[in-house]
Amino acid sequence: MTKSDTVKKYIHKFPNHGNRTIAQLVIKEHPNLFPTLDAARSCVRRIRGNIGKKRHNQADPELKRPNGKAGEYKLPKSLNKKKSVVKIPDGTTLILSDVHVPYHDVDALECALSHIDNPTNILLNGDAVDFFAVSRWDKDPDARDLAGELQAARQFLMHLRERFPETNIYFKIGNHEERWETYLWRKAPEICGVPDFKLSKLLRFEELGIEEIGGRQLAKAGGLWILHGHEFPGAFDPVNFARTLQVKTGCCTIAGHKHKTSQHSVRRMNDDTVSCWSIGCLCDLDPDYMPVNQWNLGFAVVTTQGKKFSVDNYRIVDGEAHR
């Protein structure tokens, strides 16, 4: 390996180190390669194109680096990825949160689906699928059945499409759906990029004409923001989740996640009113992991025209919907 090849190896390994620092590393690990530190530093500068304009053409094109003079360094490329907001079309939107298939309440789900004929949109607003089998919590091995969960989820989505052939269906990724991707990250990172293992493929979104809304992606119906509720960092279980939404977002917002129906409104000094809602769930109210809770069954219907919207937030009691 030549002197230049050795120096290039160190430049590749430490691209952000200064010329002198790289030269010191080379001298330390290859004391006989250069007679002096200055000789090693000159080689680094030549490869990086920092040794003068006349010899600038001797620089390695892939390893060129500015001399550090004012104006030669540009801002680094950002890794930030902007998330688009999903705009729900005007009309009537049926919002179903926390169905948790296959631990859903069949009667409650039927009540919600029967409440409105041919809605413009149906939004499965997170945790439509439980993904118990791949959760990080301790679980009964005999109860783990990933294939069965996926089949039940596909059956539910196929039922929706067959029952509402003209309705726009949106599938929001909640914290329970995120269990699948997290499981792959931890247990099988090698297949994370394989299309056949993506949730949208497993649940046949394209085939069923279902639009996915990312777990950290926001949706909006008219002037109403729609979240699942897990977008806020940290664990909390407020008495009135709707009030928490108002405090944290400062906007008219509706969310699920907490399995509780609530509503909160405040009037601002400029006479604007901010109203927020939390939606009940459509799953088993007495799960083994939390047999004592304050959950309730429910769903919501949002009607929009332009920026205007109205919210009907329903509780389900004894199989009937009540506002």
Residuewise pLDDT in 10s, the chain (323 residues):
788 889 888 888 888 888 889 999 999 999 999 999 999 998 888 888 877 665 555 566 666 665 544 445 567 788 888 889 999 999 999 999 999 999 999 999 999 999 999 999 999 999 999 999 988 876 666 677 899 999 999 999 999 999 999 999 999 999 999 999 999 988 888 888 899 999 999 999 999 999 999 999 999 999 999 999 999 876 567 789 999 999 999 999 999 999 999 999 999 999 999 999 999 999 999 988 889 999 999 999 999 999 999 999 999 999 999 99
Pairing mode, strands 210-213 and 86-87: unpaired
Nearest to 173 by CA among 124, 208, 221, 134: 124
Cα angle 219-224-227, degrees, rounded to a multiple of 5:
45
Please check whether the domain covering 86-322 is classified as CATH 3.30.470.10: no
Distances from the Cα of 129 to the Cα of 112, 150, 247, 252, 321, angstroms: 17, 8, 29, 27, 23
| Sequence spans of domains, the chain | 3-58, 86-322
Alpha carbon distance 268, 58 (integer Å):
66
Exposure class string for 233-252: b at 16+ Cβ within 10 A, else e: eeeeeeeebbbbbbeebeeb
Instruction: Judge if the upstream peptide bond of residue 102 is cis by omega within 30 degrees of 0.
Output: yes
Q: Residue 224: beta bridge partners? A: 221
First-to-last alpha carbon distance for the chain, in angstroms, is 79
Nearest to 82 by CA among 216, 175, 249, 253: 216
pTM above 0.85, yes or no: no
Alpha carbon distance 16, 86 (integer Å):
39
